């Protein structure tokens, strides 16, 4: 019995002697995550209508934001093509609309619960085939394009040491390793954050930008219409510490750099250097923001049938 008491007291002494000055950093994922942004579909689309301006119908598109970026209503455009607007009673109207309200992003609350985005609809109302089809029926293709601004926010951590090249291992963090990175839900993601020594007062880090969705990328605010803007993403990096430089990204005021980059085969690697001038060791959160236009398409058919003559 005495031996058991001695062992227990020894274990308690070991716990009490542990370094209580080592900081504990909470790296719980702040985002819902995922690789989806806007999803959409036709809502109760009729597969067939009659000709002769006797059978009006609507094309309603339902939009759902599965990601975490809020889209201002003026930055999302839903367009219908594949049919001649004049043949369907829309002589002076382009079949392109924006939703009535902003499309809110989903988010995670402080308790870790997911708060979903309310769905929105865009309605092309009162279409009607004015003429007469040849024969019993005629099939028309419908294509819906949704072009919208979207963004990704990624958070990672850098290890900053007072002596970057010291051979003594820090009890706070480690420079030479792959870093954890958390992404907001979006079709473009930040991956593979790597940190390494670059000199006695410099550290380096790299990260990959990866297209994870199936839509088409364009430079932000270019409306998804010009091929020369395709596959371009605006990248912003902020370490909150002066002395940051990154390849392909220009300087801004303060501690942030930004610039447009082109993704080749859906990927781009960015390399950065950070000056280190502090007198203590710590982990520094960094924010990487991506902004881009994103285009998706969906197709359906509508058959116009001959009405009784």
Burial class (CB in 10 A: 0-12, 13-18, 19+), 270: buried
Could you report the per-residue pLDDT of 184-204, keeping only the tens digit for each? 999 999 999 999 998 888 999
Could you report the per-residue pLDDT of 74-107, keeping only the tens digit for each? 999 999 999 999 999 987 677 999 999 999 999 9
Model pTM score: 0.86
In angstroms, the CA 209 to CA 128 distance is: 46
Q: Which fold has domain 151-292?
A: Immunoglobulin-like (2.60.40)
Mean pLDDT (the chain) is 89
In angstroms, the CA 52 to CA 50 distance is: 7
Could you report the per-residue pLDDT of 128-174, keeping only the tens digit for each? 999 999 999 999 999 999 999 999 999 999 999 988 877 677 788 99
CATH of the domain spanning 38-149+296-305: 2.60.40.10
In angstroms, the CA 183 to CA 207 distance is: 13
Helix (H, G, I), strand (E, B) or coil at 166: coil
Could you report the per-residue pLDDT of 57-69, keeping only the tens digit for each? 999 999 999 999 9
Q: Which whole number is the average pLDDT over 105-127?
A: 91
In angstroms, the CA 239 to CA 260 distance is: 18
Sequence spans of domains, the chain: 38-149+296-305, 151-292
The predicted structure's pLDDT at residue 13: 43
Could you report the per-residue pLDDT of 193-235, keeping only the tens digit for each? 999 998 888 999 999 999 998 999 999 999 998 999 999 999 9
The answer to whether the 38-149+296-305 and 151-292 domains have the same CATH topology is: yes
In our burial notation (b when 16+ CB lie closer than 10 A, e otherwise), range 89-125 reads ebeeeebebbbeeebbbbbbeeeeeeeebeebebebe
Identify whether the C-beta of residue 73 lies closer than 8 Å to the C-beta of residue 97.
Answer: no
H-assigned helices in the chain: 2-16
């Amino acid at each position: 019995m005495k031996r058991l008491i001695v062992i227990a007291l020894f274990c308690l002494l070991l716990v009490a002697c542990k370094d209580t000055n080592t900081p504990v950093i909470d790296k719980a994922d702040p985002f819902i995550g995922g690789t989806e942004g806007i999803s959409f579909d036709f809502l109760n689309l009729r597969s067939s209508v009659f000709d002769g301006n006797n059978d009006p119908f609507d094309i309603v598109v339902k939009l759902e934001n599965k990601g975490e970026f809020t889209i201002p209503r003026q930055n999302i455009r839903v367009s219908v093509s594949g049919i001649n607007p004049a043949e369907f009673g829309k002589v002076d109207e382009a079949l392109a609309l924006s939703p009535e309200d902003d499309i809110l992003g989903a988010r995670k609350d402080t308790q870790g619960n997911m708060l979903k985005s309310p769905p929105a609809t865009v309605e092309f109302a009162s279409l009607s085939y004015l003429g007469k089809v040849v024969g019993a029926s005629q099939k028309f293709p419908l294509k819906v394009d949704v072009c919208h601004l979207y963004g990704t926010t990624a958070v990672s951590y850098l290890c900053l040491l007072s002596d970057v090249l010291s051979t003594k291992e820090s009890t706070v963090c480690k420079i030479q390793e792959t870093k954890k990175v958390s992404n907001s839900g979006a079709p473009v993601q930040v991956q593979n954050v790597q940190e390494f020594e670059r000199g006695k007062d410099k550290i380096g880090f790299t990260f990959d930008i990866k297209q994870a969705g199936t839509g088409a990328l364009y430079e932000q605010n270019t409306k998804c219409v010009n091929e020369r803007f395709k596959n371009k993403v605006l990248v912003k990096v902020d370490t909150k510490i002066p002395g940051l430089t990154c390849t392909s990204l220009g300087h801004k005021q303060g501690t942030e750099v930004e610039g447009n980059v082109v993704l080749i085969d859906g990927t781009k690697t960015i390399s950065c250097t950070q000056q280190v001038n502090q007198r203590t060791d710590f982990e520094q959160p960094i924010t990487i923001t991506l902004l881009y236009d994103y285009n998706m398409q969906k197709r359906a058919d509508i058959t116009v049938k001959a009405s009784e003559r």
